[in-house]
Structure 1
């Protein structure tokens, strides 16, 4: 059946009707008072979502562009940076930093395992000459479904005193508590197609006063991604370049939806969806890639051993029009990932798990009792 696609991937995520209708409107001029008034409200609501009084800036980029902007605006060639690498996106930030001639030191963990905060503590405490200028962490590692212990790592960064805390929050913002000001985070980058519940195309960078001080002396090249331009324009409720007007109109709608739900309710909903998904996978006797103690609220990675991950994804897509994400790099073909981020409800989880049970049976997997996955998820929902 046409037009029944169900996105259960970590991005793009499902888009609510209010945002779709906003996208369908005639564009308005981005230099008009009408747009400026809308942008003013969006900016205030972005600060609410980030739990900050600092600047939150919008760029016409993907999440990668937002993180790149968050790196290049505050550093200079040759600066020493620590980067946590335990998945596809941690590795990507190391590549970006190396492309800009930064002195990169990786702190690694096996894909599917969390970063060890103590390794950051040791590096930072040993840096008595304060040469480390930034620590770059992926909060929710989308490629594996690991939630890294940002709060603890950030505490060691604060004790260091000099280094900036730069965060890839692409699949954590809007899914898990990330209090920028309370924790003292310096740069928080994210993308529109995740917890924001709108299509790809907007990147967001929140910037602390400490980071703006570093901006004054940073020497890496930048123009379109020069956040100083965005800061000046945002203060006047405008943009430095032509923005994707209708995406911002849609964002206006989804931020209002999020405010109506409330931050605590949003975080609780995502945790409930994560718990139900993981319970269902355990009920089907399928191995999870990550431990419960470090599980992302946005994405669950499953590592089946007796059935092929890509065959599961193929049946889910062909027979049920449900899109699951595959593995990346060396995990390609070895895992599949279930997204439960953004505009996702309990009904979506139950539908996806029921369809997954059928797919597993069609592939000859008999390691579960029919209905056990759905029952396990339903028990979580009944208890919460």
Structure 2
């Protein structure tokens, strides 16, 4: 059946019907008073979501644009930085940092394990001359389904006093609690196609006062991603360049939905769906790739035995029109990933676990009685 695809990947995520309807409106002038009102409202809503009184700026571009903006607006060529690397997106940070001539020291963990805050602590404490300018890391590493301890790592950065934290929160913002002001995070990058529940095309950079102070010393090249220009425009409820107008319509609608649900309810929903997915996976005899104690609320990675993970994905896509994410690089064919991020409800979780159990049974790879996995998932959902 056409047009029934259910996205259960870490992005893009499902989009609510009313958000799609808002996108279908005729564009308006991006220098008009009507559009300025939308910019003003969404800016305040973005601050609410980030739990900050600091600046949150909107860029027409992907989450990687926000990540790159975080670097080029706070650092200078040759600056010493620490990059956390425990997955595909940690590797991306390293590539961006090196592309701009930064002196990169890597704190590494094997894929499937979280970054160790004590490694950051040791390096930062040894830096008695305060030459480290930034600690750069991914909060929710979706390539493996790991959530890194951003709060603990950021505390070590604050103890250093000179360095700033630049965090990729692309798949954690809107899924778990990230109180920017309370934790004292300096730069947060995120993207529209994740917890924001709208299509790809917008990214967001939140900047603390300390980040703006670092900006005054930054000499890395920037033009389209020059956040000073975005701040100047935002102060006038505008954009420095032509924005994705219809995505702004969607953004306002989605953030209004999120405000109606409430932050705690949003976080609890993601945690509940994460647990229901994990427990259903285990009940049907499958292994979680990442220990559930540090699993991401956005995605669950599964490592099946004696069966190619890509075959599972292809069969579920063919039989049920449910799209799961595959493994990346050396994990291709070894794991698959179930997204439970953004506009996801109980029905979606029940559907994907049922489809997975049915698929394994069809392939002759289900090692537990059929129905055991979905029964556990429903029990968790009913209990929680």
- TM-score for both structures, normalised by structure 2: 0.99
Q: Name the structure 2 match of 1:331.
A: 331
Q: For 1:72-221, what aligned pairs fall within 5 Å after superposition?
A: 72-221=72-221
Q: Name the structure 2 match of 1:49.
A: 49
Q: Name the structure 1 match of 2:287.
A: 287
SS in 1 for 2:287: coil
Q: Name the structure 2 match of 1:33.
A: 33
Structure 1 CA distance for aligned equivalents of residues 147 and 379 of structure 2: 24
Q: Per-residue deviation at 1:137?
A: 1.1
SS in 2 for 1:218: coil
Q: For 1:361-376, what aligned pairs fall within 5 Å after superposition?
A: 361-376=361-376
SS in 2 for 1:237: coil
Q: For 1:58-73, what aligned pairs fall within 5 Å after superposition?
A: 58-73=58-73
Structure 1 CA distance for aligned equivalents of residues 180 and 366 of structure 2: 46
Q: For 1:235-246, what aligned pairs fall within 5 Å after superposition?
A: 235-246=235-246
Q: Residues 176-229 of structure 1: CA distance to partner in whole angstroms, max 9, x if unpaired?
A: 000000000000000000000000000100000000011011000000000110
Structure 1 CA distance for aligned equivalents of residues 368 and 28 of structure 2: 54
Structure 1 CA distance for aligned equivalents of residues 22 and 75 of structure 2: 38
Structure 2 CA distance for aligned equivalents of residues 142 and 186 of structure 1: 22
Q: Name the structure 2 match of 1:380.
A: 380
Q: Per-residue deviation at 1:18?
A: 1.1
Q: Per-residue deviation at 1:366?
A: 2.9
Structure 1 CA distance for aligned equivalents of residues 39 and 72 of structure 2: 25
- TM-score for both structures, normalised by structure 1: 0.99
SS in 2 for 1:134: strand
Deviating beyond 3 angstroms after TM superposition, the runs of 4 or more aligned structure 1 residues are: none
SS in 2 for 1:278: helix
SS in 2 for 1:170: coil
Structure 2 CA distance for aligned equivalents of residues 363 and 131 of structure 1: 56
Q: Residues 227-282 of structure 1: CA distance to partner in whole angstroms, max 9, x if unpaired?
A: 11000000100000000000010000000000000000000000000000000100
Q: Per-residue deviation at 1:300?
A: 0.3
Q: Residues 299-318 of structure 1: CA distance to partner in whole angstroms, max 9, x if unpaired?
A: 00001112110000001111
Residues 284 and 366 of structure 2 are in contact (CA less than 8 Å); yes or no, is this contact kept in structure 1?
Answer: no
Q: Per-residue deviation at 1:322?
A: 0.3
Q: Name the structure 2 match of 1:355.
A: 355
Q: Name the structure 1 match of 2:317.
A: 317
Structure 2 CA distance for aligned equivalents of residues 330 and 230 of structure 1: 39
Q: Residues 66-111 of structure 1: CA distance to partner in whole angstroms, max 9, x if unpaired?
A: 1011111100000000010000000110010000000000000000
Provide structure 2 residue ranges, at least 5 long, that are not aligned to the other structure.
none
Q: Residues 38-73 of structure 1: CA distance to partner in whole angstroms, max 9, x if unpaired?
A: 110000000000000000000011111110111111
CA RMSD between the two structures: 0.5
Structure 1 CA distance for aligned equivalents of residues 203 and 121 of structure 2: 30
Structure 1 CA distance for aligned equivalents of residues 227 and 369 of structure 2: 55
Structure 1 CA distance for aligned equivalents of residues 333 and 252 of structure 2: 38
Structure 1 CA distance for aligned equivalents of residues 3 and 364 of structure 2: 29
Q: Residues 127-155 of structure 1: CA distance to partner in whole angstroms, max 9, x if unpaired?
A: 00000000001000010000001111111
SS in 2 for 1:214: helix
Q: Name the structure 1 match of 2:343.
A: 343
Q: Per-residue deviation at 1:292?
A: 1.4
Q: Name the structure 1 match of 2:304.
A: 304
Provide structure 1 residue ranges, at least 5 long, that are not aligned to the other structure.
none
Structure 2 CA distance for aligned equivalents of residues 3 and 104 of structure 1: 45
Structure 1 CA distance for aligned equivalents of residues 137 and 380 of structure 2: 31
